[in-house]
Amino acid sequence: MATLFIADLHLDDSRPQITRLFEDFLASDEARSADAVYILGDLVEAWIGDDDDAELPARIARATHALRDRGVPVYFMVGNRDFLLGEDFARRAGFTLLDDGTVHDLYGRPTLLMHGDVLCTDDIAYQTVRKQVRTPEWKAQILAMPLEARRAFAAKARQDSKAHTGSTMETIMDVNAEAVADSMRKAGVTRLIHGHTHRPATHRFELDGQPAERIVLGDWYEHGSVLRVAPEGTELRGLALG
Ligand code: MN
């Protein structure tokens, strides 16, 4: 019995070996025998809409659907790179969309699941942009653009993001401890799993006198990263390139 979590794969045509690693992971005995597989956002480097006719979305849909067809539920939560992903693609890919901040019971322990970007409250510039681009109006406006225009727009957004990341202090881009405590308190949990910061770790601390933990998933730039949650405990590990 085990449930698997991944996030921040940032799949992109420029790193085909990572796309293959993702496909191999979903086709592995470990994934096929899992109780469920969760993808907590930033599966791709950029998502321009469910109507994207490129090869990468088609490969993703095939891989996740094949796992679903073997009876393993696949859950997906959008991140800041793929927040334009919607129900159309979810149906095509055979996965269930989860809202950021969903609580799922994992072997008797309620666990808060987030992408993680909303916890980075010290990054005011980022949070301002986030609020703006997540409105239904903004999303509708972008999705009404022709695919080619959206591709160009996404490339520009990635450049802006790189510039921001390069010029912002590391501590500002990490999660804020109070935001973490608030979210966990509101959700009534002592365990949180998220990605986004690319700082894989298991943080153990006290929350209102209770032992609590925050597990941060790793990115898939140099290799993979998987969290395995089982009744007997959790294991966060790297996945070597085949
Ligand atoms: Mn992210």
Q: What is the DSSP string of 49-88?
A: -TT--SHHHHHHHHHHHHHHHTT--EEE---SSSTT--HH
pLDDT beyond 80 at 242: no
Share of the chain above pLDDT 70, in %: 100
Query: How much is the average pLDDT of 101-119?
Result: 98
pLDDT of the residue at 172: 83
Residue whose C-alpha is closest to residue 79's, from 47, 49, 125, 112: 47
Residue 154 token pair: 């996404």
pLDDT of the residue at 162: 87
pLDDT of the residue at 240: 94
Residue 131 token pair: 């609020």
For residue 187, the CA-to-ligand 1 centroid distance in Å is: 21
For residue 145, the CA-to-ligand 1 centroid distance in Å is: 24
Altogether, the residues listed in the chain come to a count of 242
Kindly list the structural domains of the chain, giving each domain's residue range(s) and its CATH number in brackets, ordered by start: 3-239 (3.60.21.10)
Alpha-carbon distances of 176 from 134, 167, 170, 172, rounded to whole Å: 21, 19, 12, 8
pLDDT beyond 80 at 125: yes
pLDDT beyond 80 at 136: yes
pLDDT beyond 80 at 2: yes
pLDDT range class, residue 23, cuts 50, 70, 90: very high
Residues 26-61 have pLDDT tens digits of 999 999 999 999 999 999 999 999 999 999 999 999
For residue 159, the CA-to-ligand 1 centroid distance in Å is: 15
pLDDT beyond 90 at 209: yes
For residue 101, the CA-to-ligand 1 centroid distance in Å is: 14
Alpha-carbon distances of 36 from 76, 141, 202, 225, 233, rounded to whole Å: 11, 35, 21, 16, 16
pLDDT of the residue at 12: 96
62-71, 171-180, 192-201, 213-222: the lowest-pLDDT one: 171-180
Looking at residue 149, what DSSP letter applies? H
pLDDT of the residue at 41: 98
pLDDT of the residue at 10: 97
pLDDT range class, residue 100, cuts 50, 70, 90: very high
Q: Which residue's structure tokens are 């991140």?
A: 79
pLDDT of the residue at 114: 98
Residues 152-194 have pLDDT tens digits of 999 998 888 888 888 888 888 899 999 999 999 999 999 999 9
* Burial (0-12, 13-18, 19+ Cβ within 10 Å), 114: buried
For residue 209, the CA-to-ligand 1 centroid distance in Å is: 30
Strand order across the beta sheet in which 224-230 lies: 96-97, 74-76, 36-39, 3-6, 224-230, 233-239
pLDDT of the residue at 98: 98
For residue 181, the CA-to-ligand 1 centroid distance in Å is: 20
